[in-house]
Chains A and B, each alone.
Chain A
Amino acid sequence: MTAGARRRRLVRLPQYGALVLYMLFLAFPLLWMLSTSLKSSSELVSVTPSLLPSSPKWSNYSTVLREQGLTRSAWNSLRVSLASTVLVILVGLPAAYALARFRSRLRTAALGWILVSQVFPLILVVIPLFLLLKQLHLFNTLPGLVAVYLVWSLPFALWMLQGYVASVPVELEEAAAIDGAGRLRTLSNVVLPLLLPGLVATAMFTFISAWNEFFFALVLIQSPERATLSLTLARFLGAEGQVQLGPLAAGSLLATVPSLVFFAFLQRRLTSGLLAGAVKG
């Protein structure tokens, strides 16, 4: 073995070690929650807990699914997230195209607004939104929440989308134009296919942001039957009373499944998407 190869071998060992430590840190809490979701309530009060449940209590999952409030909240979250995502893409795509292709005063203002709205403390926006939605009779309604999510997700989606559009060489469009294609044809036949991966990434990102959102829902949704999943789970845990931890853990895991699936699928694409956004900007 060459000296270089041997040196690399020696370096690999601590690298694997470090990687394992990282993985433990990142994955252990999730494993623990999985274990909790399979334990009975009397096992959960034991002061000598173990990672493996003594006998897996799968009924925790059926309990929580039967728990009407939770499935209804999941349905609410799904509708709100889907609606917001679709609207964000529909509204954002043309805007992102304009942002990426046309240089104008509006572009700088838009980019400025994107940055500003990213960093504004939500408390400032939520009180007027609360009062505004009340006036529009959209307070405590899911469409009202969708409207808020649309506006709140738009900046980051625009940021991502315009990065993707910018990465499509403008020469392609010009070439198509020379070939006699109209603007709309160019856009749909040339640009859109190239944009598709980025579009998918942005859509999934927006969906998960809406799915996970808590603060706006906390203030703007007051009826339990309209609550989103995060809200219902947060209220499950609390009080001086004992909460059924087993079913709660089961419910929490189930709530994470959509995002986990998307992220596993996305993990390759996400790298390139963020690269476009954060660096090229």
Chain B
Amino acid sequence: MKTRKFAAAAALAVAATALSACGSSDSGDANGTITLKFQSLAFQQPTVAASKKIVADWNAAHPKVQVQYIQGSWDSVHDQLVTQFQGGSAPDIIHDESADIAGFAKQGFLADLTPQISSQVKSSIPDGVWQTVSGDGKIYAGPTLLQSYVVFVNTDLLQQAGVALPGGPTLSWDAFQTMAKQLTKPKQYGLGWGLKSPTATVLNLGLNFDGKFFYTEGDKTTVKVDAGEQEVPRRIHDMIYTDKSIDPTSVTQSGGDVLPGFYAGKYAMTVQGSYAAQQIVADAKPSFHWAVLPILAGTSAHQAANPQTLSVSAQSKHVTEAAQFVDFFLSADNLAAVAQGDWLIPTSSAAQAAVAAKTGGKDGWTATLATGAQLTEAPFQQVDNYPKWKDQVATPTLQQYFANKIDLATLGTKLTDGWNQVGG
């Protein structure tokens, strides 16, 4: 009787292992249909919906080439790609951003998309943006959406303080700092800024003062922190400790986590990626009135263009078809739909026009789209070892600086020395 139980258990084991084996076989190419895996990192509901619609439209028009939508996450995409490329299991179509994907391109993991990019798409996207996704004469990614940092303001609190809503194409840093001071009173800060991940922000906005951080001579790249690079960190530091117009707690939080305080009126302004507008629209109460300020400017209003990208894995069995899907994704209407969902700026001018038409410029769209013209290539995107320097040197050092643990001079030395240590 017990032996029967034993046999039953053994059968169960075999069944269990069989169960786990089946259902995990590769969704392969059955009966001549090609299946492509498209891993998308979109997380805001409207964007996910728009992306899925693009996939559905493609699938309807291409019965022999089916695309499968897979959900990924921004937080883990880099580690994932490292292991996936090593293990040969990367998706056919990869969603990432140009600063992150550059390293993989150099390692030879990405296919060249040049033959499949249509001329309409090519001419509609500015050269400066194409440069962020090209190298060695190849285009290794299709640039889709651009993001800029914008300032959101609570217009009710603005009125209360008697400060006028700034007009004009840009807002100077000096004026911005003054506004923040004017909007600070007991129990209310002028600005809440989520700087838990400060590196992207500082490097991006550094271009406002022509601070490039990375300088390449020949094949040697160094990090320099001169006057231009120091402007943005110094001004932020001043706002926190001298002006006391930035909520110090917000500085240790991530951008998204700062929003509840913004809705609650704890700070009158907040600097966020433009995509935050989507959350504000969804989560804030209807009685909450807000606007987008003109783009920040120092000596210029440039910010780094770090477009989201769609690449094709070089290990994919159907590179041509996958690249065709990328081109399809980049067409004006499709790109416009995704951009609208994410409150991001589409790279192509045709798509930008489509978004302007569909939204009528409401909800800060006019100001947001205007920032698109200011986005240009920045050196840090093409540099090897940037992710490591960012994780191990730049982020902790900037965090320490904003926590007032080190001074500006030390910040500079640590950033430059850290680059040498990381092997840059």
B259 touches A130 (CB 8 A): no
Q: Does A80 contact B (CB under 8 A)?
A: yes
Determine whether the beta carbon of B9 is less than 8 Å from that of A241.
no
> Could you tell me if A141 and B24 are in contact, using CB atoms closer than 8 angstroms?
yes
Which positions 120-151 of chain A face chain B at CB distance < 8 Å? 130, 134, 139-143, 146
A235 within 8 A of B: yes
Flag whether B12 is at the interface (Cβ < 8 A). Answer: yes
**Interface flag for B10 (CB, 8 Å):** yes
How near does chain B come to A20, taking the closest CB pair, in angstroms? Answer: 32
The answer for the CA separation of A83 and B255 in the assembled complex, in Å, is: 42
Q: Interface SS of chain B: helix, strand, loop or mixed?
A: helix
Complex formed: what's the CA distance from A86 to B256 in Å? 44
Question: Does A225 make an interface contact (CB < 8 A)?
Answer: yes
Cβ of A82 and Cβ of B16 under 8 Å apart?
A: yes
Is A200 positioned at the interface, with any CB of B under 8 Å from its CB?
A: no
CA gap between A223 and B12 in the complex, in Å = 27
266-282 of chain B: CB within 8 A of chain A: 266, 273, 275, 279, 282
* Dominant secondary structure at the A interface: helix
Q: Answer whether residue B161 sits at the interface, using C-beta atoms and an 8 A cutoff.
A: no
Minimum distance in angstroms from A103 CB to a CB of chain B: 26
Question: Inter-chain contact count A-B, CB under 8 Å?
Answer: 111
Interchain CB contact (< 8 A) of A241 among B6, B84, B275 = B275
Contact assessment for B83 and A143 in the assembled complex, using a CB-CB cutoff below 8 Å: no
Min distance, Cβ B260 to any Cβ of chain A, angstroms? 4
**Shortest Cβ distance from A137 into chain B, in angstroms?**
10
Contact with A along B68-110 (1 / 0, CB 8 A): 0011111110001001101111000000000000000000000
**Cα distance A47–B89 when bound, in Å?**
43
User: At the interface with chain B, which of A38-46, A53-61, A108-116, A267-275?
Assistant: A38-46
Contact of A240 among B17, B74, B84, B261 (CB under 8 A): B74
Q: Which single member of A130, A143, A222 contacts B20 (CB below 8 Å)?
A: A143
Say whether A23 faces chain B, with CB atoms less than 8 Å apart.
Answer: no
* Distance in Å: Cβ of B77 to nearest Cβ of chain A: 10
* Alpha-carbon separation in the docked complex, A141 to B263 (Å): 45
Chain A contact residue count (CB 8 A cutoff): 41
Q: Across the two chains, which residue of chain B brings its CB closest to A41?
A: B283
Chain B residue with Cβ nearest A188: B2
Interface residues of B in 388-411 (CB under 8 A from A): none
- When distances are taken between beta carbons in the complex, the residues of chain A under 8 Å from B72 are 224, 235
Chain A residue numbers with a CB within 8 Å of B76 are 234-235, 238
Q: Cβ of B39 < 8 Å from any Cβ of A?
A: yes
A224 to B76 alpha-carbon distance, docked (Å): 12
Interface residue? A194 (CB, 8 A):
no
A238-275 interface code vs B (CB 8 A; 1 in, 0 out) = 11111100000000000000000000000000000000
A106 CB-CB contact with B under 8 Å: no
Find out whether the CB atom of A45 lies under 8 angstroms from the CB atom of B283: yes
Chain A, Cβ-Cβ closest to B70: A224
CB of B353 within 8 Å of the partner chain? no
Task: State whether A90 touches B10 (Cβ < 8 A).
Answer: yes
Chain B, residue nearest A240 (CB) = B255
Q: Which residues of A contact B284 (CB under 8 A)?
A: 42
B44 at interface (Cβ–Cβ under 8 A)? Answer: yes
Interface of chain A residues 32 through 79 with chain B (CB within 8 A): 41-42, 45-47, 69, 79
Q: By the criterion CB–CB under 8 Å, are A79 and B20 in contact? A: yes
Q: Would A83 and B13 count as touching, CB distance under 8 A? A: yes
Q: Which of A47, A139, A192, A225 contacts B87 (CB 8 A)?
A: A139
Q: Which residue of A lies closest to B17 (CB)?
A: A83
Q: How far is the CA of A82 from the CA of B20 in the complex (A)?
A: 9
In the assembled complex, A184 has its CB within 8 A of some CB on chain B: yes
Q: Is the CB of A45 within 8 A of B83?
A: no
Q: Do the beta carbons of A241 and B70 come within 8 Å of each other?
A: no
Q: How far is the CA of A74 from the CA of B10 in the complex (A)?
A: 24
| A87 with B17: CB separation less than 8 A | yes
Given A83-B16, A219-B83, the answer on whether A189 and B264 have CB atoms closer than 8 Å is no
CA distance A87 to B9 in the complex (A): 9
CA A143 to CA B14, docked complex, whole Å: 12
Query: In the bound complex, do residue B3 and residue A42 qualify as a contact, i.e. CB atoms below 8 Å apart?
Result: no
A192–B2 touching, CB < 8 Å: yes
B283 engages A242 (CB within 8 Å): yes
Residues in chain B near residue A241, CB distance under 8 A: 43-44, 74, 256, 275, 279
B283 touches A42 (CB 8 A): yes
B254 within 8 A of A: yes
Q: Which of A79, A89, A130, A188 counts the most chain B CB atoms within 10 A?
A: A79
Residues B283 and A79 in contact, CB atoms below 8 Å apart: no
B220 contacts across to A, CB distance below 8 A: none
B197 located at the interface, meaning its Cβ lies under 8 Å from any Cβ of chain A in the complex: yes
What CA separation (Å) do A5 and B422 show in the bound complex?
70
B362 within 8 Å of A (CB atoms): no
Nearest B residue to A226 by beta-carbon distance? B24
Is the pair A83, B9 in contact by a Cβ cutoff of 8 Å? no
Tell me which residues across on chain A come within 8 A of B13, comparing CB atoms: 83, 86-87, 90
B92 → A minimal CB distance (Å): 12
Give chain B residues whose Cβ lies under 8 Å from the Cβ of A219: 83
Question: Are the C-beta atoms of B20 and A223 separated by less than 8 Å?
Answer: no
Nearest Cβ on chain A to B80's Cβ, whole angstroms: 6
Known: A83-B16, A87-B16. 10 other contacts (CB 8 A): A47-B266, A86-B13, A87-B13, A134-B87, A142-B24, A143-B21, A184-B3, A222-B80, A240-B273, A241-B44
Q: List 14 A-B contacts (CB under 8 A).
A: A79-B19, A130-B86, A134-B88, A143-B24, A219-B83, A222-B84, A222-B87, A224-B39, A224-B71, A238-B74, A239-B43, A240-B256, A241-B256, A242-B283
Give the A-binding residues of B (Cβ under 8 A). Answer: 1-3, 6, 9-10, 12-13, 16-17, 19-21, 24, 39, 43-44, 70-76, 80, 83-84, 86-89, 197, 254-256, 259-261, 263-264, 266, 273, 275, 279, 282-285
Sorted nearest first, the 6 A-B pairs with minimum C-beta distance are: A238-B75, A188-B2, A45-B260, A83-B16, A86-B13, A235-B73
